[in-house]
Amino acid sequence: MWSGGCVASRGCVALYTLRAQIYSVPMNLSVSKTTYWAIGLMSGTSLDGIDAALIETDGEDIIRFMGAAYHAYDAEMRRELSAAARLDIPLNNVLRLEQKLTEHHVSAVEQLLAACGQSPEDVDVIGFHGQTIRHLPDEGLTWQMGNPSLLAARTKIPVVSDFRRRDMAEGGQGAPLVPLFHQALMRGQEKPCMILNLGGVANVTWLGGGEAIIAGDVGPGCGLLDRWVEKHTGRPYDKDGEVALQGRVNKSVVARCMEEVPFFSQLLPKSADRYDFNKVDVTNLSAADGAATLCAITAEAVKVAAKNLPLVPKTVWVTGGGAHHPVIMRELQERFARVEKIDAVGQRADSLEAECFAWLGVRRLRGLPFSRPETTGAKTETCGGVLTV
């Protein structure tokens, strides 16, 4: 057990008693605040940079967006992170890369605060996802690189990190962790509906009547497309669909991938690493046809997962970087009755996942769950994360 006090200058009179128990025995927390200012930092499997968001929230249904910023990685940083995620690199290099990555996150916080006209004293907590280097849910293993102690010391703001391993310790997949946030945001929308997050990996949250929820990763998202386009053009992603719009979908390749990649036939909840889809093979196609076909594979994987839901979603709300890709959106619209960017209901496709980890940081402070059996497959609701002050 570890006990620590919150910095008094932030108006917090709490004494946090952090326990390693499951959510059914939450941490003690006595605070004078009903809402918190929280920063969320998300560096996804696309390896392009850091999304940062500032919200005011109670960790439940009060969610007020205050601002967002984006901190891009340069080509060398993307290369180093990709090597760490794919290869067994020397431990000293891993440690140096973690420090470098954390410094980038410090810069992202500084950039966000400047953009919002706020100071560190205004912020109660940072939700620090870190960079996923390994995610092996079948073995109960995951690691998100990042040094929370360095981030807390440099920003002077308490940090919640290590979001996924508590869920995995309870038999969960450790991902996705956005579904409960999706549920809070979309309470007023017609059900059943589905929120589709298109990052490096695609995940869905299905929402039915009452508190009904089912979630999981479903397919490659934009990860394979990004790698394909970078290989053929040198650009890190297919901006505005420029490459895929020139190509034609090879339907036989799409069908073969759905049959040959075991992940696609598994039922929700499930989670994947970006590199779980390396068996998807479009190497015999042209650059344009390969890009178009990868877009179709992303959409078809969503359709396959949706077939096993209790009810067909009336609307698919799309968030993440893939929401801006015209070919992915077209392929989705060919498969579902209504497909909309989540911006249509006043949300923000680009910063939503960063907002989620700010919200989860506050839930850690309050001892509220991050996941449910229906979202990750864990045996019980779990509240994860480690607080560093």
**CATH number of the domain that residue 141 is part of:** 3.30.420.40
Give the pLDDT score at 254.
Answer: 98
Residue 46: per-residue pLDDT = 85
* pLDDT for residue 383: 97
Output the pTM of the full model: 0.89
The reply to whether 84 and 147 lie within a common domain is yes
Question: Is a pLDDT exceeding 70 seen at residue 18?
Answer: no
> How far is the C-alpha of 142 from the C-alpha of 18, rounded, in Å?
22
Pair 10, 143 in one domain: yes
Reported as a pLDDT band with limits 50, 70 and 90, residue 351 is very high
Q: Are residues 128 and 63 in the same domain?
A: yes
Same domain, yes or no: 317 and 251: yes
Alpha-carbon distances of 180 from 184, 322, 373, rounded to whole Å? 6, 21, 12
Q: Is the domain of 14 the same as that of 85?
A: yes
Tell me the C-alpha distance between 134 and 141, whole Å.
Answer: 7
Residue 199: CA count within 13 A, CB half-sphere: 26
Span between the terminal Cα atoms of the chain, in Å: 15
Whether 29 has a pLDDT exceeding 60, the answer reads no
59 band by pLDDT with thresholds 50, 70 and 90: very high
Contacts of 125 (CB under 8 A, 6+ apart): 36, 38, 39, 157, 158, 159, 160, 358, 361, 362, 364, 365
Same-domain pairing of 187 and 279: yes
The domain of 32 spans 2-173+351-388
Strands 36-43 and 15-18: unpaired
* pLDDT recorded at residue 3: 30
Residue 235 burial (CB count, 10 A):
12
325 lies in the same domain as 381: no
Same domain, 156 and 206: no
Predicted confidence (pLDDT) at residue 27 exceeds the cutoff of 60: no
Q: What are phi and psi of 250, to 5 degrees?
A: -90, 100
**pLDDT-based confidence at residue 12 (cuts at 50, 70, 90):** very low
> What is the C-alpha separation between 94 and 86, in angstroms, rounded?
12
Element (H, E) at 214: strand 213-219
Both 373 and 292 in a single domain?
A: no
pLDDT tens for each residue of 272-286: 977 789 889 999 999
pLDDT of 162 above 80: yes
Query: Residue 341 pairs with which residues in a beta bridge?
Result: 318
Tens-place pLDDT, residues 210-249: 999 999 999 999 999 999 999 999 999 999 999 999 999 9
Do 330 and 316 share a structural domain? yes
> Does residue 147 sit in the same domain as residue 130?
yes
Question: How many residues belong to the chain?
Answer: 389
What pLDDT is attached to residue 124? 97
**Nearest partner of 361 among 321, 388, 337, judged by Cα:** 388
How many domains does the chain fold into?
2
Are 63 and 114 in a shared domain? yes
pLDDT in tens, 282-324: 999 999 999 999 999 999 999 999 999 999 999 999 999 999 9
Edge-to-edge, what's the strand order for the sheet holding 339-341? 213-219, 202-207, 193-198, 315-319, 339-341
Burial level of 2, CB count in 10 A (0-12/13-18/19+)? Answer: exposed
